[in-house]
Amino acid sequence: MSTIEKAMGEFHHTPPKKDVPEEHIAPVEAVAAPVAPAPAAKKTGKKEPFKDSSRIIPINNSLLESLGMINNGTSESERQIKDEFRLIKHKLLKKAFSPEEAHKPTANKRNLIMVSSANMNEGKTFVSINLALSIANERDKTVLLIDADVLSPSIGDTLGFGNEMPGLTDYLLGNVGDLRDIIYPTTVPDFRVMPAGSSNNMSYELLSSGKMAALMEEIASRYTDRIILLDCPPLLGVVETVTLSNLVGQAVVVVEQNKTKLGDIKQAVSLLNSEIDTGFVINKAVQKAGHGYGYGYGYGYGSKDSKK
């Protein structure tokens, strides 16, 4: 049994049963079981008025391809990464929109998903962007990707638009009054981005503020078809990341194969809100691909749902 499998086996979160009739508690699904796409949700509310074309963030397909990310290519490696993130995406969407999940304590936050890792440089931003691109391909869903790693933002640098645009911290500080001014469209339909914003010495503290909690509640309920992904700071050493787990309904913990230590995984997951659904993405899991070896991405909830 690998280090990752051991960790996943020890951290399967089951919602408390004291207030939930036993017949309403959904069984844990096996990773091998096919996952049906989430039911269609009607788009409601008014979209942000993106009349200013200068605010549109270009998503460069060649850049995505060079980074090994989901793009419009047709190569075998592109097909593989699309398939792997499609599997991960469908599990998250099912948790977010399935009526079977409506009884859970975090039901009203199911479309708020934090992506983090135990430590830095374990692939959380790579996973966040690929998940966003994959969800944007759904015909009846939109996705908002928030760079919540406010002291070490990576989304702007990775996608090539930099870190100068007003974003999350500017809104939380009150320097930007209208939420629409920090949500930017991209050239990928149904894919929106909220940059980290200006850095200051209180950036992390802003994540645990009452205004942040109000923001999460507002964007979660404004559109019934929207998934909000938060690329968060690492869990170990940043108390505010742990606080964010109280504001979301799902957490994705990115674990780098053969790098992330078992003890770090245990500690990181133990810090999360026990009522949220916590899954693992196994980043850079070596697998046989054609005549060589490539990287794969496994996802699961607990020991029964481990893939790699």
Q: Domains in the chain, ordered, with CATH?
A: 3-12+30-36+66-305 (3.40.50.300)
- Dihedral angle over CA of 149, 190, 213, 252, nearest 10: -60
Q: How confident is the model at residue 221 (pLDDT cuts 50, 70, 90)?
A: confident
Name the pairing type of β-strands 277-289 and 250-256: parallel
Q: How confident is the model at residue 29 (pLDDT cuts 50, 70, 90)?
A: very low
Summarised one tens digit per residue, pLDDT across range 97-144 is 988 888 888 888 999 999 999 999 999 999 999 999 999 999 899 999
Residue with tokens 């702007």: 156
Helices in 98-167 by DSSP H: which ranges? 124-136, 155-159
Beta bridge partners of 299: 281
Q: How confident is the model at residue 19 (pLDDT cuts 50, 70, 90)?
A: very low
Helix (H) / strand (E) element for 144: namely: strand 142-147
Q: What are phi and psi of 304, to 5 degrees?
A: -80, -10
Share of the chain above pLDDT 70, in %: 75
Summarised one tens digit per residue, pLDDT across range 225-265 is 899 999 999 999 999 999 999 999 999 999 998 899 999 99
List the single range of 30-39, 60-69, 128-137, 144-153 with lowest mean pLDDT.
30-39
Q: Can you give the pLDDT at residue 174?
A: 95
Q: Can you give the pLDDT at residue 52?
A: 61
Q: Can you give the pLDDT at residue 224?
A: 76
pLDDT at 68 over 70: yes
Helices 76-97 and 124-136 pack at an angle, to 10 degrees, of 80
Summarised one tens digit per residue, pLDDT across range 5-16 is 554 455 444 444
Q: Can you give the pLDDT at residue 33?
A: 32
Given a contact cutoff of 8 angstroms between Cβ atoms, the answer to whether 253 and 278 are in contact is: yes
